[in-house]
Structure formats: structure tokens, C-alpha cells
Structure 1
Amino acid sequence: MTDCGCEKARQDLEEYLRNEMCKTEHSDIREHLENCPSCRDEALVARTLTEVVARACKETAPEELRRQVLERLRLAQAAAH
């Protein structure tokens, strides 16, 4: 394995975090992140952000909010016609 460098690690960070690359490239980036605090910090931020967004997408709106939004949509549609 060989350290791929900061530029390559940052360029391919999203694919790395989603496991969308070959094992060799994945290993090279993992090795770089283990040895580069700056890139490791960037990867941590990206991973955390991805996890927060994923959790938010799984949440459902409270029923009252859902009802209010649907009612406003109906009113807007009625006013447009």
C-alpha cells in the first residue's frame, strides 16, 4: 500500500465514505487518513454530516405539522384554479 496524498484523499473522500471504490484505492485512502490529522478531521466532518442527513431523512413530521402543510397546499391549489 502507498499513501495516496492529501489531494487524492480529499478528491475521493465521498466515494471512500460510501465504499464505492476498489479495495486498493480504499486501502490507500484509509492509510492516508490514519496518518494525516487534517484529512482525518475532514473525513470525520463529512462522515458526521452524512450520518446526520441520513437520520433526518428517516424522521417523519409530526402529524399536526403534516396536516397543516397539506391544508395549506390544498388552499394554494384552490386559489390557483
Structure 2
Amino acid sequence: MTDCGCEKAKAELEEYLHNELCAEDAADIREHLESCTDCSTEHLIGRTLTDVVQRACKETAPEDLRDMVLQKLRAVQSTH
């Protein structure tokens, strides 16, 4: 393994976050993140955003809110 450098780490960060890299590339980026504060901060931000989006996708709106939104959508559609 060799430190891949900031350019490669930042270019492949999204794939790294989603475990879409081959083992060798992932290991190179992991090694780089251990020694680079800038890239590890960017990784933390990406990880946090990914976690928040994943949690939000699992949540559902309350039934009364869904009904209210659908009712308003139908009202708007009926006037067009």
C-alpha cells in the first residue's frame, strides 16, 4: 500500500464511503485518511451526510400529514 495522495482520495471519496472500490484502492485511501487531516475531515463530513440521508430515507411522514399533502395536491390538480 502507498499513500494515494489528496487528489485521488478526494476524487474517490464517494466510492470509498459506499464501499465501491476494490480492496487495494480502498486500503490506499484509508491509509491516506489516517495521515491527512484535510481529507479525513472531508471524509467525516461525507460519512455524516451519508448517515443522515440514510436515516431520513427510513422515516415516514405521519399519516395525517400525508393525507393533508395529498388532499392539497388533488385540489391543485383539479384546477389545472
TM-score range, shorter chain: over 0.9
Partner of 1:21 in structure 2? 21
Give the counterpart letter for 1:52 in structure 2.
Answer: V
Give % identity.
62
Q: Compute the displacement of 1:47 (Å).
A: 0.5
SS at match of 1:61: coil
Counterpart Cα distance in 2 of 1:74 and 1:38:
49
Provide structure 2 residue ranges, at least 5 long, that are not aligned to the other structure: none
| TM-score, normalization by structure 1 | 0.95
Query: In angstroms, what is the RMSD of aligned CA positions?
Result: 0.7
1:50 is the counterpart of 2:50: yes
Residues 2-43 of structure 1, C-alpha deviations (whole Å, 9 max, x = no match): 000001000000001111111110000000001111100100
The structural deviation recorded for 1:57 is 1.1
| Runs (4+) off by over 4 Å | none
TM-score norm. by structure 2 comes to 0.96
TM-fit CA distance, 1:62: 1.1
